[in-house]
Structure 1
Amino acid sequence: MSVSARPDIAWRMRASPQGIPRRVLLWVALVVLAVVAVMALFPQLIATHDPLRTDVRAALEAPSAAHLFGTDQSGRDVFSRVVFGAGRSVGIGLLATALALVIGLVVGALSGIAPRAVDATVMRITDVLLAFPEFLVALVVVAVLGPGPTNVAIAVTIAAVPVYVRLARVQTRSLALAEHVEAARILGVPAMRAFVRHVVPGVLGSLSVLATIGIGSSILAAAGLSFLGLGPIEPSPEWGLMLSGGRNVLGTAWWIAVFPGVAITLTVVSATIVGRSLRARAEGRA
């Protein structure tokens, strides 16, 4: 039997544009996300120093055995700050994604079964928000609400909601016409009960796959807002804030900005790889 006749074997052998097998990329991404999860949940197990402790005498030290990622302008250990920053950066992204998923599910599903006038109004608002980049929408929201980690989470949530609303609405309309839903109605199951039991779970499954990809975008947006000084403030360890603090000394102390930037990049790319793999499986392409 040829390889082309076995889609599962073909998928395993298929390589990414960089020549790396997709399955290898997936496992690497899962390992990276596992490490980030441990950093976020149990930073004290990995960190080597107090992330807030300053030592002017050790300021701007290059990476060494004593300080794996070097020290910043205040003599704080960059490695420990990157480890502790995972909880804040990833936490904001996860919270924003979860809220966007819930709001998008409720609004989109209800819009899918609402009267035409209500549905049209919701979709026009959604289209307007989708016309702008998510980061720009989040930036405008933070400008209105003011800086702070809570407002950053709210802003990223609002920016991400339209995508979930549109998908939830499309999935709701599609599933509402499915044979098993029609059969439930014929058997006398109340319309709302049939909707909650047979339509909502299917919509939630589709949104969950999208949310896996959206986590990376939310983390990146939150880090971008923190980079602009609109998120957590010093001395809080947060990846975007650390990146901002090191941009003015890149020529003499590159490690202050590079290592938080690498952490952001690896986390976002890994989340995207896992999300796309899940979407491929959901669509039967894997």
Structure 2
Amino acid sequence: MTAARRVLLIAACAVLAVVALAAIAPGLLATHDPLQVDVRSTLLPPSAEHLFGTDQSGRDVYSRVVHGTGRSVGIGVLATAIALVAGLAVGSLSGVSPRIVDAGFMRLNDVLMAFPEFLIALVVVAVLGPGPVNVAIAVTLAAIPVYVRLARVQTRTLRLAEHVEAARILGVPRGRAFLRHVVPGVLGTLSVLATIGIGSSILAAAGLSFLGLGPTEPTPEWGLMLAGGRNVLGQAWWISVFPGLAITLTVIAATAVGRVLRASAEGRRV
């Protein structure tokens, strides 16, 4: 790893550490009540009192960004975790199934992968209706096809590996050999992909919230805050810019760490 990329990785990990702290214990970082309305302090620019300024209701934007971390990042992490488990189950099942069943699974998966993840999530929310729970479900369903394909490929590769064949020769039952030697290898590969996928899920969830399909006011959530400031962008740019920066930095940091892990897993120099 080059020195520049090592510095980039350290910076990305530092950003994710701050994001994790804000998600787990927002009270340690926030300076105000994110829901407190003060009509005398509306649309104040960033200052020592209000680090990111205030919004149309006089609420502290910095505190709302901090408290919104748990919802925005939580949806991304939860959706990615569920998509990983579902992809592992379906992909592994497809990889050990008869050819005709495997082909059926993959054709359906190819159709889903032909559409952008955000479009699939948008369709799911349109069917289920708006709301934070439905947004999480939509983002999860949109992310599953990628994990299914990778799990299927890794399953078909590992099931023919020498150590798996050796276990079978030694009398280990087929199912036990699969669970002990194939599934951990597939899960390790999917975990690396999930690190990158968290950023995509956060971005998709924020996009749906921006369109008004997720949480509603006055809930602090990055995508919702971004939408709340678009009508006064020329007058109070900070209302949208700081939540947008939070989304951007989190997605870039998660993607950077994921790419380093993927390169290390593949044995390439990064």
TM-score (norm 1): 0.93
% identity of equivalent residues: 78
**2:18 & 2:243 partners in 1: Cα distance?**
15
2:241 is the alignment partner of 1:258: yes
Equivalent residue for 1:214, pick from 197, 202, 206: 197
What is the rounded CA distance, in whole Å, between the counterparts of 1:187 and 1:63 in structure 2?
Answer: 69
Matches within 5 A, 1:107-256: 107-256=90-239
Q: Give the deviation of 1:256 after TM superposition.
A: 0.2
- Compute the displacement of 1:116 (Å): 1.4
Q: How far apart are the structure 2 equivalents of 1:30 and 1:187?
A: 44
Give the AA of the match of 2:223: G
- C-alpha displacement of 1:38: 0.4
Of 79, 84, 89, which aligns to 1:96? Answer: 79
1:62 is aligned to 2:45: yes
Please give the alpha-carbon distance, in whole angstroms, between the structure 1 residues aligned to 2:130 and 2:17: 30
- The corresponding residue for 1:32 is 15
Aligned residues: 269
Cα offset for 1:12?
Answer: 2.0
Deviations 1:231-264 (A, max 9, x none): 0110000000000000110000000000000000
- 2: CA distance between counterparts of 1:217 and 1:138? 12
Please give the alpha-carbon distance, in whole angstroms, between the structure 2 residues aligned to 1:59 and 1:128: 49
- Aligned pair 1:12/2:12, yes or no? no
Partner of 1:272: 255
CA distance in 1, matches of 2:100, 2:190: 25
Cα deviations by residue, 1:148-206 (Å, 9 ceiling, x for unpaired): 11111110011000000000000000000000000111111110110000000000000
CA separation in 2, counterparts of 1:125 and 1:234?
A: 38
- Please list every run of at least 4 consecutive aligned residues from structure 1 whose deviation after the TM superposition is greater than 2 angstroms: none
Structure 2: distance between partners of 1:233 and 1:99? 24
User: 2:5 maps to what in 1?
Assistant: 22
Q: Deviations over 1:34-73 (max 9, x none)?
A: 0000000000011000000101111111111111100000
What is the letter of the counterpart of residue 165 of structure 2?
Answer: E
Residue 8 of structure 1 corresponds to: none
Aligned-partner SS, 2:229: helix
In 2, Cα distance between the equivalents of 1:241 and 1:25?
29
Task: Supply the distance in 1 between the matched residues of 2:21 and 2:13 (Cα, whole angstroms).
Answer: 12
2:222 alignment partner AA? W
Following the alignment from structure 1 to structure 2, what is the Cα–Cα distance between the partners of residues 65 and 266? 23
**TM superposition shift of 1:29:** 0.3
Q: Return the letter of the residue paired with 2:2.
A: R
Corresponding residue for residue 83 of structure 1: 66
Q: Report whether the alignment pairs 1:53 with 2:72.
A: no
Q: Deviations over 1:112-144 (max 9, x none)?
A: 001112111110111001000000000000000
